[in-house]
Amino acid sequence: MKRAFSTVACMDADAPQIIEACYKYQMDGVEIRLDKDNSVLGKQSKEELEELAKVFRLAGITVVDLGSSICIKEYNEKHTLTMQRILECAEQLDAKGIRVFLGNFSSKVNPNLPKPDYEGIVRQLKELCTVANVYNTEVWVETHNEFATGKVLKQLISDVDCHNLKIIWDIMHPIEDGEGIKETWGYIGDRIAHVHIKDGFDRKDPVWHDYQYTCLGEGALPIGSIIKLLENEGYQGYYSLEWEAAWRGELAGYENSLDWVLKQYTDYLEAYQKNQLKVTAETIIDNRVQNACLKKYGVSTVIEPGKTYHLTVPYQEYVTNSYNTVYGMITLYTPGGIMTRRIYLEQELCGRKGITFTAVDENELKLELGLKGFGKAVFYQPLLQECPRKPERKVRVASVFIKVKKELSYGEHLRQIEDGIDRAAKDGVDLVGLAENLNTRVQVIPEEEIFGTLDGMYCSMLKRKAKEHQCYIFCSFNELDEEGVRRNTAVLFGRNGEIAGKYYKTHIAMSEYERGIVPGDVYPVFDTDFGRVGLLICWDAYFPGPARAMVQQGAEMLLIPTAGNPTYRHIARAKEHGVYTIVSCVYGTSDSGIACTKIIDPCGEILAHTKEDGQAAKAVIDLNEEKHIYWLSVGAADAIPANIYRHEVRDDLKDMF
C-alpha cells in the first residue's frame, strides 16, 4: 500500500517539514495543494521549482499530483491557460496528474444552483487532456459535486474519450449521493488513478448534502472495505489522506497539527492491518421476500480473556419495514465452547453500529450481521480493535425519607428537610433525592410558598445545600412559573446550586387539575458529570410512556419524587428499560415488604430502601457496570436488559394503537 497525504492539512509547511513528516509516518508520496496564486509551496519560477523537485527526489518522496482549485462549470479558455502553467509545474516536479473539479460546490442542498454546461465541460476536458499529453501528464477529475458518482463519470469519460483523463476517488462523495463502493468501482475502476481517504457520517439533516467530517475511525465511511476492494482489484495508486480542516469547521475541534493528522492516519491503517475480522469488502443481505423472518451472516475470531475491545461495523440500509430490522450482535464463548453473553451492537452513528466489551473468561467472539424481517442492507468491513477498559462511573446516591409532621411550622419543616439532607450527605454523596412537593405537606404554609418560585424559601435552601455538599439534589414543588402558570415542577440542582434540569409533570391527577395546575408536554433529559438522567413526578411513573421517552434520549437513571408508592410500577420502569431508578416518597407505607423510598437497579433488584424518618436509602452504583439477565430473548446466555429492550421494542407499531 502506497501512502500519501495532501498538503491541504499543512498549507504553511515547507518542503523540509513535509519530508520530515513523510519519514516519520512512512509516507511514500505527497499531494501538493496549490497556493491561491497557483504557486507550489510558495515556489513559482522555473529555477525554484527545479530546486524543489531535487529536494523531493533526493528524499525519495514522490510528488503524486498537484491539487488545483479550478472548478469547471462551463467552457472557459482561461482555464486552459491556467492549467497549462500548472502542467508545466507538474512536469518539473515529476507529478503524474493535476486535479480539477467539475460542477457547483454546495455543502447544503440548493435547488437554485445553475445547471453545469455539460457540453462545455466535455469540450474543456478534451482541450485540457490534449495539452496535458504534451507534458506527459494526466488530468485527474475528483468525484465531487454533480460529478460525484461513478455512474455520471463513466458517461463523461466516454464522451471526452481521452486516455489521460483519470479519476480521483474521493471516497466520501459517491456515498453521499447513495452509490455503493462496488458500484463506483464497477463504473470507473479502470480509470481511478488516486484515492482520497477521509471519514464522516450522514447528518440526516435535509438541509445538508455533505456528510459531517470526523477523525478516521470515528465516522461511518467503509474505509476498510474500500481498502480491501482496492487490494483485491490490484489497485496500484496511492491512498492519500485529505484532511480538510482548512474549510471543514467540524474538524476544528481536533488538534490539527501535521504530526497529529498523520498519526491518526497511520494508527488507522495499523488497526486495519491488525484487524482480526477480515471478511469480504461488503456483505449484502437481501431479505425482501414474503413473510421474511431472519437472515444473517456470521464470522468468528479469537479474543483474549481480560482484554477490552471496540467493534464497529459501517453499513448502508436500503429498505426495511421496521425500526429494528437491521442489526448486529456479538456472542461470546468460553474455551469450552459455552455461550456466555449475547449483546446487540448499538447505533453509534447514522450508518455505523458498534460495541465496547471486555472479555472475562471468553476466548471466542462471533459477530452476526442480519435482518429481522423484510429488508436489504449492505454491511462493510468490521473493525475489531483493542481499547482501554471503560473506567468505573460510580455514583453515590441517597434518597431521603422525611416523615411529614403536619403540626410543624413551615420554618421547622424546612429545617427538618435540611437536617435529612445533611445526614444523607455527611459521608459524601453525588445525588440526593427528595419527595414530591415535600415542602407543602404541613398545615400552615406561607402564601408565597404554596405556589413558589425558584428563588423562594424552599428552593433557595436546596440551592444552598447542593453547593454546601457539592452534590446534585432533585425534588419537586408546586411552582408559579415565569409566565404565571401553575406547575408541578421537578428540579435538579447542580453541585454549585445552579439549575441543572427542570421538568413539568405531564400526567396531572384530577385533584391537581382542580387546583389549576397545567401539565407539561415534553420529556427532557439532563446531563450531569456522572451521566444522563430523566425526572418523573409521581403519577408520571404509573405509565410506561414518559420513562420510555427519556430512555430513548439516553437517560441512564430515572429520578422520581413521588407521593404515591406503586413499588411494582417503579420496579417495572427500571426493568423494562434496564436503567437505575431512584425513588423518594412522601408517605411511609411499604408495598410487599419494600419501603417507599428506594433505589432499584436495571434488573429490578432493590439495592436500598427505607421508611425511617430522616434516613436515606443509600447505594453506590456504577453506571458502566454490566447488569445481566439470563435467557432474556437471546437463548441460554446472559443479556444486558437495556441493550435487549432498545433493540427489540416494536416502535414501528405505535401508530396502530
Predicted confidence at residue 597, as pLDDT, reads 97
Question: What pLDDT sits at residue 324?
Answer: 81
User: What three-state secondary structure class fits 537?
Assistant: coil
Q: Look at residue 33 in the predicted model and tell me its pLDDT.
A: 96
Please determine, for residue 568, whether its predicted confidence score (pLDDT) is greater than 90: yes
**Hey, what CATH class is 2-274 in?**
alpha beta
Q: Exposed (0-12), middle (13-18) or buried (19+): which is 145, by Cβ within 10 Å?
A: buried
Taking the CA atoms of the chain, what radius of gyration do you get in angstroms?
A: 31
Query: What Cα–Cα distance (Å) separates residue 451 from each residue in 101, 413, 458, 492?
Result: 65, 17, 11, 18
Q: What is the pLDDT of residues 293-318, one digit of tens each?
A: 999 999 999 999 999 999 999 999 98
Worst-scoring range by mean pLDDT, 299-303, 350-354, 502-506, 648-652?
648-652
pLDDT at residue 587 in the model: 86
pLDDT at residue 530 greater than cutoff 80: yes
Checking if the pLDDT of 657 tops 50, the result is no
Provide mean pLDDT across the span 240-254.
94
Of 70-79, 268-277, 355-364, the one with minimum mean pLDDT is 268-277
Question: What are the residue boundaries of the structural domains of the chain, listed by start?
Answer: 2-274, 282-391+630-656, 394-623
Convert the pLDDT of each residue in 458-479 to its tens digit.
999 999 999 999 999 999 999 9
pLDDT at 23 > cutoff 80 = yes
> pLDDT confidence of 281, banded at 50, 70, 90?
confident
Instruction: List beta partners, residue 347.
Output: 353
Banded model confidence at residue 161, pLDDT cuts 50, 70, 90: very high
Please provide residue 71's backbone torsions phi and psi, each rounded to the nearest 5 degrees. Answer: -125, 115
The chain-wide mean pLDDT, for the chain, equals 95
Has this prediction a pTM greater than 0.85?
yes
For residue 654, the model assigns a pLDDT of: 63
DSSP category for residue 461: H
Whether 394-623 and 282-391+630-656 are alike in CATH topology: the answer is no
Pick the CATH number of 282-391+630-656 from 2.60.120, 2.60.40, 1.20.1270, 2.40.128: 2.60.120
According to the model, what pLDDT value does residue 544 have?
93
- Over 70: is that where the pLDDT of 656 sits? no
Which 3-state string (H, E, C) describes 406-439? Answer: CCCCHHHHHHHHHHHHHHHHCCCCCEEEEEECHH
Note the pLDDT tens digit of each residue in 600-642. Answer: 999 999 999 999 999 999 999 999 999 999 999 999 999 999 9
For residue range 53-76, what is the model confidence (pLDDT) as tens digits?
999 999 999 999 999 999 999 999
| Residues in Cβ contact with 384 at an 8 Å cutoff, skipping those fewer than 6 apart | 275, 276, 277, 301, 309, 310, 311, 365
Q: Which pLDDT does position 572 carry in this prediction?
A: 96
Q: Which helix (H) or strand (E) holds 560?
A: strand 557-562
- Three-class secondary structure of residue 248 per DSSP: coil
Quick: pLDDT tens for 425-464.
Answer: 998 999 999 999 999 999 999 999 999 999 999 999 999 9
pLDDT (mean) for 276-287: 84
On whether the CB atoms of residues 493 and 468 are closer than 8 A, the answer is no
Are the beta carbons of 284 and 370 closer than 8 angstroms? no
As a whole-number percent, the residues of the chain with pLDDT over 70 amount to: 99
In this structure, the strands spanning 431-436 and 472-480 are: parallel
pLDDT at 655: 55
Whether residue 244 is predicted with pLDDT greater than 50 in this model: the reply is yes
Question: Quick check: 420 pLDDT over 60?
Answer: yes
Read off the pLDDT of each residue in 410-435 and give the average, rounded to a whole number. 96
Tens digits of per-residue pLDDT, 185-226? 999 999 999 999 999 999 999 999 999 999 999 999 999 999
Task: Give the C-alpha separation, 481 to 325, whole Å.
Answer: 44
282 — pLDDT class (breaks 50, 70, 90): confident
If you average pLDDT over residues 585-590, what whole number do you get?
A: 87
CATH T-level fold of 394-623: Nitrilase/N-carbamoyl-D-aminoacid amidohydrolase (3.60.110)
pLDDT band, residue 280 (cuts 50/70/90): confident
Residue 93: pLDDT over 90? yes
Which of these, 275, 293, 292, 295, lies nearest to 284 by C-alpha position? 295
565 has pLDDT over 80 = yes
* Residues contacting residue 314 through CB under 8 Å, at least 6 positions apart: 220, 221, 222, 225, 351, 352, 379, 380, 381
